[in-house]
Structure 1
Amino acid sequence: MSNVLSLADQITLELRADIIGGRLLPGMALVENDLVSAYNASRNTIREALHRLGQEGLTRYARNKGVTVRRLGIDEVRDLFQVRRTLELQAIASSKPLREYQSDRMLEAIEASELAREREDWRSVGTHSLAFHQHIVGLMRSPLFDEFFTNVVAQLRLVFCAAPDEQHFQSPWLARDRQIHDLLADGDKQAAGETLAVYLDDSERLLLDILSHSSRH
């Protein structure tokens, strides 16, 4: 069985990475002609990649408007956090003692967030924090869950973009990510799970407040 990615696969991965990295924002148009030129790909290949992103809930197609990066609403946020609680809390509850390589990956994401905070790149702070939470799900050592959660992360990134003040939104989470890592490193997964549960409640509440406020204006 071949593991070689098709061009459409590669383009899908790159566009999804651009969403996770905050380079493609909600409402941005994904213009077929531009993508054909940018990727030196056929129109059919680009259409296949855009179709996959649509299936993943990352883009929307509207007649006469074409494909745009999706804006998520309150119902989608509630659903995303239901998924986060299910996967992240289960990953911690079922985890074995943290191995050195797992700790290293988490610390790399935390330290990258701290460096981004120092240069006041709040979008990158959010991206690296999401990477930390991908490593939590990675404790289950399930490639299927990892792949699924990457899509969840891409959708979360689109929600983060709704925050009118990214510094205000991103500032609280960095110290809490480190606290969760330290509890896991100390072998106290019950406290790590409890800390994460409060973290997810607070994050969801803040995002829902932001979205309900923006929908009123």
Structure 2
Amino acid sequence: MVSRPALPPVAQESTPALIARVLREAIADGRFPPGSQLVEQELARELGVSRGPLREAMQRLTQEGLLVGRRNRGLFVMELTEDAVRDMYLAREAVECAAVRRIGATGAGPRAAEALAVPLARMRAAAPDPNGREISEADLHFHELLVELSGSPRLLNMHGTLLTQIRMSLTGMQGTYGSADARIREHVEIVEALGAQDADRAETLLRAHMQDGLERLLDR
């Protein structure tokens, strides 16, 4: 038997990582709106944690760009300014379009279309509330799954770093839909193009879908 260095023990999620996850979720769903201040003393009391791991968690979120430090004032949730929104959509479009091209290149379009029918069905089920949480979560799942189906760990990792900002943008779009029809139709057309092995059309439709989202955020 070939000798090798022993593997390290599997570590449980650290307290700072748990705190960061809770704060990330609260930022994503709007409990801490863009531009709001996170007060360390209040958060430590509310979460029932000491300030050391809380500071470490907040530092993580600062490195991710979700929190922004203001000199002599503290930490604030990033604001969805026009520049920030445009830059986020630039990165998101690059990753998701690359995923579509990869799916097309590997001939996985029909399989991807079948898998994407699941979040699409969730969107249809949530259609009576076009600006609700359920349809937004199904929308997010659709795009996460699209990137996952590319089979590229690096694309998935890059998309993962954008997820909280994407969720913030979906929360920001609430109230901009009169009905769910157009939102669902855009996703249906992308799925149909993938199923037909037409990755070029799927990419064109995805770019148009991204442009619609960008405009909704900037016009809100």
Same fold (TM over 0.5): yes
Q: Is the counterpart of residue 55 in structure 1 residue 67 in structure 2?
A: no
Q: Is the counterpart of residue 181 in structure 1 residue 207 in structure 2?
A: no
| Counterpart code for 1:167 | Y
| Counterpart code for 1:51 | Q
Q: Count the aligned residue pairs.
A: 209
| Counterpart code for 1:18 | A
Q: Deviations over 1:77-103 (max 9, x none)?
A: 221122122111111111131475x55
Q: Mind listing any 5+ residue stretches in structure 2 that lack a counterpart? A: 1-7
| Counterpart code for 1:94 | R
Q: Is the counterpart of residue 150 in structure 1 residue 150 in structure 2?
A: no
Q: Deviations over 1:5-58 (max 9, x none)?
A: 211112212322333334432133333234323443221111111111111111
* Change beyond 3 A, Cα 1:43–1:158: same
Given candidates 74, 85, 97, the residue that maps to 2:82 is 74
Question: Which residue of 2 is the match for residue 131 of structure 1?
Answer: 141
Identity of aligned residues (%): 27
Question: Which residue of 2 is the match for residue 201 of structure 1?
Answer: 211
TM-score computed with the length of structure 2 as normaliser: 0.78
* Change beyond 3 A, Cα 1:37–1:104: farther
Q: Is the counterpart of residue 18 in structure 1 residue 6 in structure 2?
A: no
TM-score computed with the length of structure 1 as normaliser: 0.79
CA RMSD of aligned residues (A): 2.8
* Change beyond 3 A, Cα 1:25–1:113: farther
Given candidates 76, 92, 114, the residue that maps to 2:124 is 114
Q: Mind listing any 5+ residue stretches in structure 1 that lack a counterpart? A: 211-217
Partners of 2:131 and 2:174 within 8 A in 1: no
| Counterpart code for 1:149 | H
Greater Cα offset, 165-174 or 68-77 = 165-174
CA distance in 1, matches of 2:180, 2:30: 14
User: Which of structures 1 and 2 has the bigger CA Rg?
Assistant: 2
Question: Which residue of 1 is the match for residue 5 of structure 2?
Answer: none
* Change beyond 3 A, Cα 1:161–1:119: closer
